[in-house]
Structure 1
């Protein structure tokens, strides 16, 4: 089912935490940083005042994605340093959330009023990958095809093991916190855009979401752009990890567009696989969503790559993916690297400083 003229453009959004360099606590400095970043249209605020978000422009290749992600990280990190705080890529603030840190925009204030039981733990940070498509009906087909592969994407990106200054026991502590939201769930197997829109409309009518931007499906049709938006991943510790994630997501989208028939999996198995990926990352068994059996997480990731290999060849991304996975398997996920830094540092402030260096691809201890 090749789609003639489709460019499968890429866009990547990354959310970061701002930390106090003295004790690693969250720094409520995003509004101040944004005043100094007005020349960067891709940098915006987020739900909490200790969060800041970057977004690339429309990219056509990984060679465009990588320097854009690097430039945006450098710009925000430099501004944060000048303001006396650190920019860190972590799925949750490692030394604890802070109640009452909500950004003062009307939408976020309404979100807090509508979901008071969830809001204080809502300051989590993700990486969202957008892939351009020519139609929303095609996007609905892609969402159905993405369902079996969400857990390997989470395992690869897991980067939030530290909570309140200690190991939480999760590779992605962000996942169970984010999963509490009513619409945080895998996409359905919608027949087309109309069926998708009906599900979104029901969520809004029943109060499960404030607006279309607040519908938190793990993958969705973007409410702002003509893209499929994959939202399952933690923000990646390094640019290299984020580029790998973007390549895999685009390969999956292309494969789902062009495949004559898509593999299917039941929600209960997808849920079990996501739990396993969030709990252990690459370091424990995952769940094969097609058999329901435990399986080595790295084998499952290799199965994902085999599934999308023709698409990677088409985009010229095969070498980037192979190199990215080899590095990931050798050095571990962001979660594994965070744990090593936690063990090797003597204080929360020192840990935060090392994490900020890792965020900028600066070699750490």
Structure 2
């Protein structure tokens, strides 16, 4: 069975004011002091962010348990330094991000200016194991039309700099300011994929291969496909749902490739529109159907995704878990809806952050 790993980026916030705090270096130093061999927590572009990565898991229950454990450990480490962690894809409150001290990050800040300075956004990246480079690229080609649905399910960034953006997943709109971000054309082979990335690096616009910020890509570090469209999810259960769907998408795509099937040949222009619609609406209004690229109710599009993945979900024993989680999201809403309901109830973005801190820790 394919293994799955998750990287989550968390926001470091003041437990009283809810404002982001640039304490990632201190938290990482504290983690290293506690456990010199720890390989879970990592530095990110901004001092107000903390990233963790799970180990590869073959069972979703084990993956979920590790996500919960990592979130609780992050909360403990941060709490001992006077801050808290929140699984928020953007800060609801105004913030002036602080670039981490790092030669690479400083280069990015100078190269991209305001576009880099405003990238205080937190995502959830899912790594799914593959057997070869060719398989990875074949999978990436076949994932393209379905990725917007993952964005809609995970949407958890309605607020930006103290304002309601009108979007469910505004993080993706901010992330899209990077020159290499977003959906890709069909590659057709590993050789063509790597040639395209090399051409991008040769322009000098991006620093290296790691800055090919595609929505999905073969990992340069691991034998995986990395799916990068999801907001960090408010609740750990939603992160597990995204991971289960990602694995099923990779398995379904691989089977289609091995059977000689052809990927859907949607243009990048249409894929960008599908991504925009998912970011704007989340699960509350229409999405673009991944096959026809025409509007359909979000619930119908999500059910089409489940039908597309049916065999893979059954064989991985994830079908019941996924169907239950989907039903809950369609009934109660994703993180974006939950944040807005909290704002309606409390009238305070500070209270929204405080409640999200509790949800991050599973309370």
Same fold, TM exceeding 0.5? yes
Aligned to 1:115: 112
Deviations 1:220-263 (A, max 9, x none): 01111110000011111111000000000000000000123245
Deviating beyond 4 angstroms after TM superposition, the runs of 4 or more aligned structure 1 residues are none
1:234 to 215, 223, 231: 231
For the 8 Å contact 1:187–1:220, the answer to whether it is kept is no
For the 8 Å contact 2:248–2:313, the answer to whether it is kept is yes
Deviations 1:26-56 (A, max 9, x none): 1011111111112231111100000000100
For the 8 Å contact 1:86–1:353, the answer to whether it is kept is no
Deviations 1:151-173 (A, max 9, x none): 10100010000112231111011
SS of equivalent to 1:84? coil
2:7 to 13, 16, 21: 13
Taking the aligned partners of 1:270 and 1:300, their CA distance within structure 2 comes to 15
Aligned to 1:74: 72
For the 8 Å contact 1:118–1:181, the answer to whether it is kept is yes
Q: TM-score, normalised by structure 2?
A: 0.95
How big is the shift at 1:346?
A: 4.6
Taking the aligned partners of 1:150 and 1:91, their CA distance within structure 2 comes to 17
Deviations 1:327-355 (A, max 9, x none): 11121011001111122225443222111
For the 8 Å contact 1:157–1:235, the answer to whether it is kept is yes
How big is the shift at 1:268?
A: 2.3
How big is the shift at 1:199?
A: 1.2
Aligned to 2:41: 43
The alignment covers a number of residue pairs equal to 355
Alignment of 1:18-33 (within 5 A): 18-33=12-27
Aligned to 1:3: none
Gaps of 5+ in 2: none
Taking the aligned partners of 2:263 and 2:190, their CA distance within structure 1 comes to 20
Taking the aligned partners of 1:12 and 1:188, their CA distance within structure 2 comes to 25
How big is the shift at 1:58?
A: 1.3
Q: Does 1:199 align with 2:196?
A: yes
Aligned to 1:333: 334
Aligned to 1:4: none
Alignment of 1:340-351 (within 5 A): 340-351=341-352
For the 8 Å contact 2:139–2:254, the answer to whether it is kept is yes
Aligned to 2:317: 316
Taking the aligned partners of 2:51 and 2:231, their CA distance within structure 1 comes to 13
Taking the aligned partners of 1:196 and 1:244, their CA distance within structure 2 comes to 29
Q: Does 1:248 align with 2:245?
A: yes
Alignment of 1:63-102 (within 5 A): 63-99=61-97, 101-102=98-99
Taking the aligned partners of 1:340 and 1:210, their CA distance within structure 2 comes to 41
Q: Does 1:302 align with 2:303?
A: yes
Taking the aligned partners of 1:19 and 1:355, their CA distance within structure 2 comes to 11
For the 8 Å contact 2:124–2:231, the answer to whether it is kept is yes
How big is the shift at 1:267?
A: 2.1
Alignment of 1:270-285 (within 5 A): 270-285=271-286
Gaps of 5+ in 1: 1-6
Taking the aligned partners of 1:349 and 1:281, their CA distance within structure 2 comes to 23
SS of equivalent to 2:31? coil
For the 8 Å contact 1:95–1:165, the answer to whether it is kept is yes
SS of equivalent to 1:36? helix
Taking the aligned partners of 1:23 and 1:140, their CA distance within structure 2 comes to 45
Q: CA RMSD in A?
A: 1.3
Aligned to 2:267: 266
SS of equivalent to 2:124? strand
Taking the aligned partners of 1:12 and 1:208, their CA distance within structure 2 comes to 29
For the 8 Å contact 1:269–1:287, the answer to whether it is kept is no
257-266 or 102-111: which moved more? 257-266
Deviations 1:243-295 (A, max 9, x none): 00000000000000012324512322211111111001000111124323211
